[in-house]
Chains A and B, each alone.
Chain A
Amino acid sequence: KAGVTQTPRYLIKTRGQQVTLSCSPISGHRSVSWYQQTPGQGLQFLFEYFSETQRNKGNFPGRFSGRQFSNSRSEMNVSTLELGDSALYLCASSLAGTSGATGELFFGEGSRLTVL
């Protein structure tokens, strides 16, 4: 069974630009969560989608947004990039919310964003 796939793996943007990151969950997983990892703040929850609906949201500004498609694939978008947005963005999928599921998150390798 294929794992969580994130694209692109690496990207470089300049301040003010916007970026879209993509995540394909494990087959059968309907929950997709996004996390930001930085050396200073550690792992911080961005948002979670389940069946195309945002179910949870972290404390990030409105520049950070996401969506989920009917095939459970998800994208996140960051607009008006700032230097502080440089981070590893991790996507995770799970069966969370499905009957009997224990809610483990399975992470992708991440998309490393550098903002210059």
Chain B
Amino acid sequence: GEDVEQSLFLSVREGDSSVINCTYTDSSSTYLYWYKQEPGAGLQLLTYIFSNMDMKQDQRLTVLLNKKDKHLSLRIADTQTGDSAIYFCAERRGASYGKLTFGQGTILTVHP
């Protein structure tokens, strides 16, 4: 299959860590991205990882990539209520440039 799969919902308490998971199927994926979408808004690029990397850290965000299992995760440390949003993982396959394949999105709810 060609799907990118994500769990639909995640609920955490403020101050805890959030881990959003994603699996992809295409071994030709070159870059993998995480986007955030708030209500009524477009997509905001959070971070990306190149397929030859295992991990990337950017302030509160940590991306882990397991190429063998085709598994990608996004960890948000010290989650805040402002992090409540929909998070999408996306893959770029080969040299497909502007064409990304998105997962269905994970709705993250952060409770005070």
A, B assembled together: yes
Looking at the complex, which one of A45, A90, A103, A109 makes contact with B101 (CB distance below 8 Å)?
A: A45
A33, A103, A107, A108, most chain B CB atoms within 10 A: A103
Which label, helix, strand, loop or mixed, suits the secondary structure of the A interface? strand
* Contact string against B for A residues 103-116, beta-carbon threshold 8 Å, 1 for contact and 0 otherwise: 11111111000000
Q: Count of B residues near A, CB < 8 Å?
A: 24
**Do A106 and B105 touch across chains, with their CB atoms under 8 A apart?**
no
Report the contact-size class of chain A (Cβ under 8 Å from the partner).
20 to 34
Q: Within 8 Å of chain B (Cβ to Cβ): is A97?
A: yes
Interface residues of A in 84-116 (CB under 8 A from B): 90, 92, 94, 96-97, 102-110
* Contact string against A for B residues 65-95, beta-carbon threshold 8 Å, 1 for contact and 0 otherwise: 0000000000000000000000010101000
- Contact A107:B44 (CB < 8 A) given known A102-B31, A102-B50: yes
For the complex, what is the distance from the CA of A103 to the CA of B35, rounded to whole Å? 14
For the complex, what is the distance from the CA of A58 to the CA of B102, rounded to whole Å? 13
Contact residues in B for A32 (Cβ distance below 8 Å): 98
B45, B100, B105, most chain A CB atoms within 10 A: B100
Q: Within 8 Å of chain A (Cβ to Cβ): is B62?
A: no
Q: Within 8 Å of chain A (Cβ to Cβ): is B24?
A: no
Q: Within 8 Å of chain B (Cβ to Cβ): is A48?
A: yes
**Do A102 and B97 touch across chains, with their CB atoms under 8 A apart?**
no
Contact residues in B for A109 (Cβ distance below 8 Å): 41-42
B35, B98, B101, most chain A CB atoms within 10 A: B98
Contact residues in B for A15 (Cβ distance below 8 Å): none
Looking at the complex, which one of B42, B45, B97, B104 makes contact with A50 (CB distance below 8 Å)?
A: B97
Closest 3 CB pairs of A and B: A48-B98, A33-B98, A96-B97
A-B contact pairs, 15 of them (CB 8 A): A33-B100, A42-B102, A43-B88, A45-B99, A48-B97, A55-B98, A92-B43, A96-B97, A102-B31, A102-B48, A103-B92, A104-B33, A107-B45, A108-B42, A109-B41
A contact set with B: CB distance below 8 Å: 4, 31-33, 42-43, 45, 48, 50, 55-56, 58, 90, 92, 94, 96-97, 102-110
